[in-house]
Amino acid sequence: MDIHAKTSRPFRVGFMLIDGFSLMTYASAVEPLRAANVLAGREIYDVRQVPVLSAQASSSSKATISADAQIGEQVDFDLVVVVAGDEAFEFAQEGAFHWLRNLARRGVALGGVSGGAVVLARAGLLKGRSVAVHWEYSQALAEILPDLQQERILFVMEDDRMTCAGGVAPMDMMHALIEKQHGAQFARSVSDWFLHTQVRASEGPQRAGLAERYGTKNSTIVTAIALMEDNLAEPVSLQVLANSVGVGVRQLNRLFSTHLGSTTMELYRRLRLDKAKILLEQTTLPITEIGLATGFAGSAHFSRSYRNRYGCAPSAHRN
């Protein structure tokens, strides 16, 4: 199914909900379709909710969504969108994977928002595709599926696949879908309904820039942090960092201390440990491998650094 094509009947969309999904992400995806029906004065989108485990799905905030379709049910969907949160990395319902693969074989378009993109990837349904996934999941997904073509943008739309980083970005993705199927003017009326006046293109960034995140416009610091983030698994030395930004080691440390209250390498270590924490929480990788993936050559050094940062050993954090 080409999701860009307009149909003479209602476009049938199923939302496959995995317990722990973000309510904001789900609402940002489903509400534009509801509003489109209201503004059109007829049903142009036939929306069904498909909880995975029972007759209802529970969000991360404990709100529940009741089912009006079931996995395996013979609903002639045009598009099925998987909505998931952190649990996407541990999701292991083979029946759900099998259903998604069957849908793909039948030509049904598939989508994933937030952790939903992780589920599609783990089901083998995004091979050779560009994928937009939430920045918080990006590193963990790269560890388990290193060949996946991740894009650090808001969403990716192809003829039969659509993936979105999550949060409020599904509103932008659904605007693009509605525009393709019903025209720019109608899509704008839907976005205006939600006071969403600044619709973002798919290539928009997922996060604020480094200058905003760290509260400094000093170009030397920003460039150094960008280099750190690009080299978490194989850390570069302080001398290499200083040479790369064109200052001396003492000057670089002085800048970091003045603007960020930290030495250069202290901040670098925090970035690596923050990545380690994400990998511990989102993957089943052995702790030794996580230490190596974040630039720690030995388990003892990794464990000691982790305890100093978070107050417990990596194994205790995972348990």
Name the residue with higher pLDDT: 140 or 50: 50
Q: Is residue 200 part of a domain?
A: no
Q: What is the CATH number of the domain that holds 17?
A: 3.40.50.880
Let me know whether 187 and 252 are in one domain: no
Q: Tell me whether residue 23 is in a domain.
A: yes
User: Is there a single domain that holds both residue 188 and residue 238?
Assistant: no
186 plus 216 within the same structural domain:
no
Whether 43 and 159 map to the same domain: the answer is yes
Percent of the chain at pLDDT exceeding 90: 56
Residue 4 lies in a domain: no
Q: For 222, what's the count of Cα atoms within 13 Å in the CB-facing half-sphere?
A: 12
HEC assignment per residue over 236-301: CCHHHHHHHHCCCHHHHHHHHHHHHCCCHHHHHHHHHHHHHHHHHHHCCCCHHHHHHHCCCCCHHH
Regarding whether 138 and 86 lie in a shared domain, the answer is yes
Name the domain count of the chain: 2
The conformational region for residue 82 under phi > 0 = left, psi -120 to 50 = alpha, else beta, is beta
Backbone angles phi, psi at 207, to 5 degrees: -130, 160
User: Of the candidates 292, 298, 290, 242, which has an alpha carbon nearest to the alpha carbon of residue 265?
Assistant: 242
Per-residue confidence (pLDDT) for residue 203, from 0 to 100 = 75
Averaged pLDDT, 4-15: 84
Q: Are residues 105 and 238 in the same domain?
A: no
Mean pLDDT of the chain: 90
pLDDT per residue as tens digits for the range 39-49:
999 999 999 99
Q: What's the sign of the alpha-carbon dihedral 112, 114, 115, 117?
A: positive
Predicted confidence band at 279 (pLDDT cuts at 50, 70, 90)?
confident
pLDDT digits (tens, 9 = 90+) for 172-219: 999 999 999 999 999 999 999 998 888 888 877 776 777 778 888 888
Domain boundary among 193, 228, 251: 193
- Does residue 204 lie in a domain region? no
**pTM score, two decimals?**
0.76
Quick one: 88 and 225 in the same domain? no
- Residue that wins the pLDDT comparison between 273 and 2: 273
Q: Domain check: are 108 and 135 in the same one?
A: yes
Report whether pLDDT(73) > 80. Answer: no
Is 49 inside any structural domain?
yes
- Give the model's confidence band at 30: pLDDT under 50 very low, under 70 low, under 90 confident, else very high: very high
Domain membership of residue 205 (yes or no) is no
For residue 34, pLDDT over 90 is answered with: yes
Mean pLDDT of all residues in 109-120: 95
| Model confidence at 273: pLDDT above 80 | yes
The domain in which residue 84 lies consists of 11-193
Q: Which phi and psi (to 5°) does residue 31 adopt?
A: -65, -40
